[in-house]
Structure 1
């Protein structure tokens, strides 16, 4: 307080004499004017900054960041994305032309299955081969958006459809190889799935 005492006196002298007794100067205000900040002020500023830089999922949704137009998207415009995805998938899975995937009884099957489940699916061309709902069977197209629980799939008819992961199993082709991916293994946010430690998979992933 000694370092700010002259400033307190200066502020009091700025007030007319008959009003000086009524003047109340808060130490935090004097500290701010003196050019330094108290620990409390630093903490409040840090809290406000942290709060303002982190968006909640509700805020993301309110800005439409998880929303796609349902009629403006064209299947043919996403074919280049699918071509990019095929190159990425071959590199991710370590496949070359003519390769075959490990069979269920082979030692490398489990590691390959985990790679398949961790793969980014944006751009993949998939179809529903099994589902609890008969209305979903046979739906196919390019995945344009993946969330924790659903896939947004753009069909060749330019219709965008929402397919729940947990209710379906998906077929996918890469070159001359076809896979089956069980939807229940995908019910994790894509960014988390790529780094999450996955337990042993027991179902065969090859058609």
Structure 2
């Protein structure tokens, strides 16, 4: 018997009246089986508790947590978000006053372009510079929602427009720098895009 089994035997034996202690017989297999069942139940309860505390994507959508009001939002209300984004993007891209876009032959260009595509676009000012759908071209606004397939831009006319990423090429200005971002390479959720290994997609305006 292992030390644990010996401890159980001594404990149980002490509970028996002295003249019957010789008849005590401990079966190690039974002890192992009881311990295993108990541990399994504990893990099962933990899994159920963890699962019950997380919303599935279907539940998330059913509660309307991935939608925005189309008429109640004002452009001015999104400006504070844009101001926060300007500070964030300078920190993310490590931009200093007067900084310029690295040239294509610059060793920093590849890493800079990767970081640009990984940006969280919530709060950025974007403009559709090219699209397969001509009616989308020249639409602009502050990005208030970034999903896997679309961007929602709030325009100066206070209208919220849904722009499909894969159909468009976007222009974005950061300080004195302007960028072209191909929407087809943004077709991934922002949280996943920020950690995904991305190839070189971005080119500055010429």
What TM bracket, shorter-length normalisation? 0.7 to 0.9
| Cα distance in 1 for residues equivalent to 2:96 and 2:41 | 60
| SS of alignment partner, residue 180 of structure 2 | strand
2:124 match: 124
| SS of alignment partner, residue 121 of structure 1 | coil
| SS of alignment partner, residue 141 of structure 2 | strand
Deviations 1:72-114 (A, max 9, x none): 1000111111111111111111112211101222221111100
| Structure 2: unaligned runs, 5 residues or longer | 1-33
1:77 match: 77
CA RMSD of aligned residues (A): 1.9
Distance 1:123 1:97, change over 3 A: same
2:20 match: none
How far the C-alpha of 1:46 sits from its partner, in A, is 2.9
2:106 match: 106
1:28 match: none
| SS of alignment partner, residue 85 of structure 2 | helix
Query: Contact between 2:71 and 2:158, CA under 8 Å: does it hold in 1?
Result: yes
- TM-score, with structure 1 as normaliser: 0.77
| Cα distance in 2 for residues equivalent to 1:50 and 1:120 | 29
- TM-score, with structure 2 as normaliser: 0.77
| Structure 1: unaligned runs, 5 residues or longer | 1-30, 32-36
